[in-house]
Amino acid sequence: MKGLHLTGDLAGCRCAALLLTDPAALEACCVAAVESAGLRRVNQLFHAFAPGSGVTGVVLLAESHIAVHTWPEMAGVTLDVYVCNYGSDNSARARALFDALSAAFMPVGIQSHTLQRGGPA
């Protein structure tokens, strides 16, 4: 149950519009970031609400999950990265994944929160 939970509200995203509106482009970006961070992807699902509008997506990890939601009309993105530390400390991987995804959107500003999940048993 112990793990690192990172959330971010990204504002003024200057990335290619495709990353905010195309589920396949967002999925490819997320999967590449997961693999680069050394985490294990179990499955994923990405959904566009209407042509040119936002996308919501999740990648299920053996270590937990990431969730991404885009608002192209506001150049905004929310990120949710939770990586558990069962068996080993994956905190550095969680941070690498969060940082890679944040950088991909090229935001002007980020409001982020860090939560250490789980306590002594």
Q: Is the pLDDT of residue 119 over 60?
A: yes
> Quick check: is 13 catalytic?
no
Bridge partners, 23 (sequence order): none
Q: Which domain holds residue 11?
A: 3-117
Which of the residues 13, 29, 30, 84 is marked catalytic?
84
Query: Which amino acid would we find at residue 59?
Result: V
Q: Is the pLDDT of residue 3 over 80?
A: yes
- Residue 72 sits in a domain whose CATH number is 3.60.90.10
Per-residue pLDDT at 118: 87
Bridge partners, 80 (sequence order): 7, 67
> Quick check: is 64 catalytic?
yes
Which of the residues 69, 88, 91, 112 is marked catalytic?
69
Give the C-alpha separation, 62 to 40, whole Å: 5
Query: Which amino acid would we find at residue 102?
Result: S
Strands, sheet with 76-84, edge to edge from the N-terminal-most edge strand: 41-48, 55-61, 64-71, 76-84, 3-11, 109-117
Domain count, the chain: 1
Q: What is the pTM of this model?
A: 0.94
